[in-house]
Amino acid sequence: MRVLFLIPGGSASQLQAIPAVAAVAAGLNAQVQVACPQESAAVWKLLPAVEKVLPFSFAAGVSLAEWANLLGAVREPDFQLSINLASGWALDLLLSLTHIPTRIARSGFSATTRLPALPAGWPSQALEAWLRPLELPLDADAFRLSLRKADLDGAAAQLPPGKGPLLLLAPMPQTSVSPDWPAAHWQALPEAIRARLADLRVSRASGGSPVQQAAQVASADVVLSSDPSITELALLTGTPLVALGRSGDSLPRREGVQGVGTAGGLDQLGVAEVMQALGLG
């Protein structure tokens, strides 16, 4: 069976969809292709069940050539199912021109199955709504990325020396338009922790491919993150996490996972509050 997922959004949105895509691939013994923005395509190297990524921006002003390329890509394989997380008249028209018999979406005239009101909460688990028409369960909290030993060894080789616990700091990317936790706080926090844990090791998220980032996250003892993608990687690898700017109801209810502060209000968050969230208050 061949399944097409259409997933708009950046890397964090793609990462949130990984447990659902994995559940469909395993539950239906399916070959999966994903249409997503080019800049987010590398995320899907984390999930071997995805055999091909179809770059598509889903943004307004997509050229006729891009639509034609996507139509050709989705008409050529014999897809039996599409799960569409995007929306729009043009996309509905494209899907209606395919021969895909089962098309699940929130709305739109191309859908053969339309979803009811979608649940709030942790986005990865909320995607269970797309799987219910297929009678497939989704336990996003139980999903873990499978990382190669070579990638984990490569990340371990870059860690600071010592045997103390490793704190990985992941500030927002500089390209983000949202205000981050103040730089002075990111700098002051390690020293404040070392006053209690003298052997603390500290590393910063170093970029690289999503696979390299996932290995770095998995090598940490705890992650402090305001970077949406690193936050999702911590959840997918099962690494203890304090997520800055995330409410508790947008995260799984898991021991070792906590949100602190509010999006857009991180400049009001003090070092002492973050220390408390890390269990050092």
CA angle 110, 37, 100 (to 5 degrees): 25
Q: What secondary structure does DSSP assign to 109-158, as a single string?
A: TT-SEE--SPP-S-HHHHTHHHHGGGT----GGG------HHHHHHHHHT
In this prediction, residues 47-68 reach a mean pLDDT of 90
pLDDT band at 22 (very low <50, low <70, confident <90, very high): very high
Q: What is the pLDDT of residue 281?
A: 66
Tokens of 156: 């371990």
Q: What is the pLDDT of residue 238?
A: 97
- Please tell me which residue, 58 or 169, carries the higher pLDDT value: 169
Q: What is the pLDDT of residue 3?
A: 97
Q: Are 72 and 49 in contact (CB under 8 A)?
A: no
- What are the strands of the beta sheet with 201-204, ordered from one edge? 201-204, 166-170, 222-225, 241-244, 257-260
Structural element, H or E, at residue 222: strand 222-225
Q: What is the pLDDT of residues 227-245, one digit of tens each?
A: 999 999 999 999 999 999 9
Q: What is the distance between the alpha carbons of residues 232 and 235, in angstroms, rounded to a whole number?
A: 5
Q: What is the pLDDT of residue 175?
A: 72
Q: Are 50 and 34 in contact (CB under 8 A)?
A: yes
In this prediction, residues 33-46 reach a mean pLDDT of 97
* 49: Cα separation from own chain's centroid: 16
Q: What is the distance between the alpha carbons of residues 101 and 103, in angstroms, rounded to a whole number?
A: 7
Domains located in the chain, CATH noted: 2-142 (3.40.50.2000), 149-277 (3.40.50.2000)
Backbone angles phi, psi at 264, to 5 degrees: 85, -10
3-state secondary structure of 204: strand
- Helix axis angle, 64-75 relative to 89-96, nearest 10°? 40
Residue 183, pLDDT above cutoff 90:
yes
Q: Can you give the pTM of this predicted structure? A: 0.94
